[in-house]
Each structure stands twice: as C-alpha cells, then as structure tokens.
Amino acid sequence: MELKYQRLTKMTDLKLDLHGSRHHEVPLKVENFLYLNQENMPILIICGNSQKMINIVKDVLEDIDCIFEIGSGINYGCIIVRKI
C-alpha cells in the first residue's frame, strides 16, 4: 500500500532515522525499535533514498507481520508502521 501526498512527519512523534546505518545493521535496529516502542504507534521509519534500504525494512516488517505503508512522492524513503 502506498501513502498519498501528505507529510508523514506530522502524523507521529516517534521516528527511527536510518541515515548513516549500514545495511547489515538495519534488520536488528528496526526490529528492536519496533518492539521497544510497540505501544506508541504509529512509528515513522526514515530510510532515505536507498531502494535497498527500503526493501530491507519492508522485509523485516513483513517477517514480523506488521501493518505498514510505504511512502511515495514527497514521502519517498519513509515507511509508517501502524501496528505490530
């Protein structure tokens, strides 16, 4: 599911910014952050412009059965997690 053109940053205060993270570190960072903050949904994950990073995060979210939306347009590089 893709998000329409709206600013994601105003929807949630809880963010995980993956800028500067190495690809091999991302699955553990994402999973730990989500489980530690699962009571504070929605959570915004900022992946940046790397399609590989977006795919890694998407795979992690699918593995733990999250409900999430991938941003497009001005929200490209952002994923919002609605529920774990």
CB 15 within 8 A of CB 7: no
Domain count, the chain: 1
Instruction: Please provide the size of the chain in residues.
Output: 84
Rounded CA separation 6/3 (Å):
8
The torsion angles phi and psi of 43, rounded to 5 degrees, stand at -120, 135
Query: For residue 2, what are the β-bridge partners?
Result: 70
Whether 3 maps to a domain, the answer reads: no
Whether 1 maps to a domain, the answer reads: no
Q: What is the CATH number of the domain that holds 64?
A: 3.30.1370.110
Is the confidence at residue 10, as pLDDT, over 90? no
Q: pLDDT tens-digit profile of 60-79?
A: 999 999 999 999 999 999 99
Domain with 75, as residue range(s), is 8-83
Whether 33 maps to a domain, the answer reads: yes
CB 82 within 8 A of CB 68: yes
Whether 2 maps to a domain, the answer reads: no
CB atoms under 10 Å from CB of 53, counted, come to: 21
- Mean of pLDDT values over 30-50: 95
